[in-house]
Amino acid sequence: MTSISRKLIFWLAIPLSLLALCGGLLHYFNVVAPQVLSTDRLLKDAQTSLSLRVDEVGGERQVIGESPTHARFAVRDRSGALLAGDPALPPLVVEGAANSFFRTVDVGGRKLRLLVEEHPSALGPLTVTVAAPVGGDETVARYGLMSTLLWDFVYLDITLILVWVGIQVGLRPVLQLRDEVAERSPQDLRPLVAATAPRELAPLVTTLNRLFATLRASVQSQQQFIANTAHQLRTPITAMLAQLESLAAEPDAAPVRQQVASLQEGVRQLARSANQLLTLARADPAVNLSAKREQVALDALAREVLGKFLDRAVQENIDLGADLASVSTRADPSLLDDLLSNLVDNALKYTPAGGSVTLSTGERAGQAFLSVEDTGPGIPPADRLRVRERFVRLPNSPGHGSGLGLAIVAEIAGLFDATMSIDSGANQIGTKVSIVFPAAATGEATGDRA
């Protein structure tokens, strides 16, 4: 992910570095180069004057002994033997196409600027070296160049640090806006405060507020649709069941009582499936962006659910019991009711006559939990993840379920950041489904038992 501050520093560092180098070059050509050129010009004049005085007299080599410019010099033959001049000057040989070159060397602890040139003569080529000390002005100029470059880059570093600090301070409102949005829960769709935002961020804040308003309207529309659909489905289905019960009680309906009973069971299954689909829709995170969260006593909720299923458990000869410790969590009570009801409905559906279903609530490690344990056939470990998916039913499952029970439980648990686990029951018999809520949402347990 690209960082704005790093990108700004990078694009500032390149031109500032080029400017520092240009400043160093400008200083060199204005201060150092003239000093070097002055020394080189002096050496060239001395070389020209001295070369005119190298001659051949009577078949013997003779060099007139002093440079007219009083510069140090040395004349050597091809073998490097000194013919005249200063023996301290190093013997340098001219190579390549050029017949002369400049060089700066250290002789006797002093820096000398040398001009080495090769001259033809009757006795063969002679190498004439002329030397002059590097002037104090040139040394000062070179030191000044290095000092200028050093300061330029120190100045560049300080500038980049100050720019980075300025960028961090300037981006602070952006970071504050980021943190404010990041710290909100998905359910918090309140508009952001645009009055305190900088002018550059005002359009972004306005756009975010418009998005939040659109989401709020969409959520309210979906919730209204679900409520209307529930009403439109439940009313005729309830009326149909009532009519079928009245029909089954009529003596004249005796010949078709078996068909009426089958029709009643089908309508009940339709009612159960419709309720499950509506519950699944209500548990959708996209619909519950603004789901209410209030303190819910899990033990009291479990007692209410027990009351709803007690008659069914008695009819099916199933022992429906509870082990309830007083504990609470923050959630939507109606959705938690749906969650627990689906767990108990599933447990009763798969538990054979003479079996038992137990509801438990309590707290472990600071986290509230509720669980439903049955003595049914159990769920193989390999299928415990798959049964959380929608419309998944295991082979040889009893009844005509739609495979939505555990999917609803998983959706509602995820909505409140709770974790769902499926394990074997006591003594590896049956199934135990547990829902553990986050510690931050857990209320204090009193230790009461029901």
Q: What is the pLDDT of residue 6?
A: 76
Q: Check pLDDT > 90 for residue 358.
A: yes
Both tokens assigned to 92 = 């340098």
Cβ atoms of 95 and 77 closer than 8 Å: no
Indicate the pTM of the whole model: 0.50
Helix (H) or strand (E) holding 182: helix 172-183
Find the length of the chain. 450
Cβ atoms of 214 and 222 closer than 8 Å: no
Kindly report, residue by residue over 237-285, the tens digit of the pLDDT.
Answer: 778 878 888 888 888 777 887 888 888 878 877 777 777 777 766 666 6
Q: Check pLDDT > 60 for residue 38.
A: yes
Helix (H) or strand (E) holding 367: strand 367-374
Residue 24: what residue type?
A: G
Q: What is the pLDDT of residue 299?
A: 94
Report in angstroms the alpha-carbon separations of 237 from 109, 234, 242, 247, 262.
112, 5, 9, 15, 15
Q: Whole-angstrom Cα distance, residue 126 to residue 159?
A: 57
Helix (H) or strand (E) holding 74: strand 72-76
DSSP state for residue 30 in the 8-state scheme: I
Kindly report, residue by residue over 39-92, the tens digit of the pLDDT.
Answer: 777 777 777 776 666 654 333 444 444 444 457 888 887 777 887 778 888 888
Tell me which fold the domain 4-157 belongs to: Beta-Lactamase (3.30.450)
Kindly report, residue by residue over 158-199, the tens digit of the pLDDT.
Answer: 888 888 888 778 778 888 888 888 877 666 778 888 777 788
Cβ atoms of 339 and 408 closer than 8 Å: yes
Query: Which of 84-114 are b and which e, b meaning 16 or more Cβ less than 10 Å from the residue's Cβ?
Result: bbeeebbebebeeeeeeeeeeeeeeeeebbb
Kindly report, residue by residue over 418-443, the tens digit of the pLDDT.
Answer: 999 999 998 899 999 999 999 876 65
Percent over 70 (pLDDT), the chain: 75
pLDDT (mean) for 22-51: 67
Helix (H) or strand (E) holding 330: strand 328-331
Percent over 90 (pLDDT), the chain: 20
Q: Check pLDDT > 60 for residue 14.
A: yes
Q: Check pLDDT > 90 for residue 298.
A: yes
Both tokens assigned to 281 = 């829709």
Q: Is the dihedral of CA 398, 401, 403, 408 positive or negative?
A: negative
Q: What is the pLDDT of residue 447?
A: 41
Kindly report, residue by residue over 240-250, the tens digit of the pLDDT.
Answer: 878 888 888 88
Strands 72-76, 126-133: pairing is: antiparallel
Q: Enumerate residues 6+ apart whose C-beta is below 8 A from 61.
A: 83, 123
Q: What is the pLDDT of residue 448?
A: 41
Q: What is the pLDDT of residue 282?
A: 66
Look at domain 294-441 and name its CATH class. Answer: alpha beta
Mean per-residue pLDDT over the chain, rounded: 78
Q: What is the pLDDT of residue 291?
A: 56
pLDDT band at 94 (very low <50, low <70, confident <90, very high): confident
Nearest residue to 139 via CA among 90, 104, 89: 104
How would you write 99-145 as a 3-class SS string?
CEEEEEEEECCEEEEEEEEEECCCCCCEEEEEEEECCHHHHHHHHHH
Q: What is the pLDDT of residue 450?
A: 39
Helix (H) or strand (E) holding 244: helix 202-249
DSSP state for residue 53 in the 8-state scheme: T
pLDDT (mean) for 134-151: 62
Q: Check pLDDT > 50 for residue 221.
A: yes
Question: What percent of the chain is helix, strand and coil (3-state, nearest 5)?
Answer: 50, 20, 30
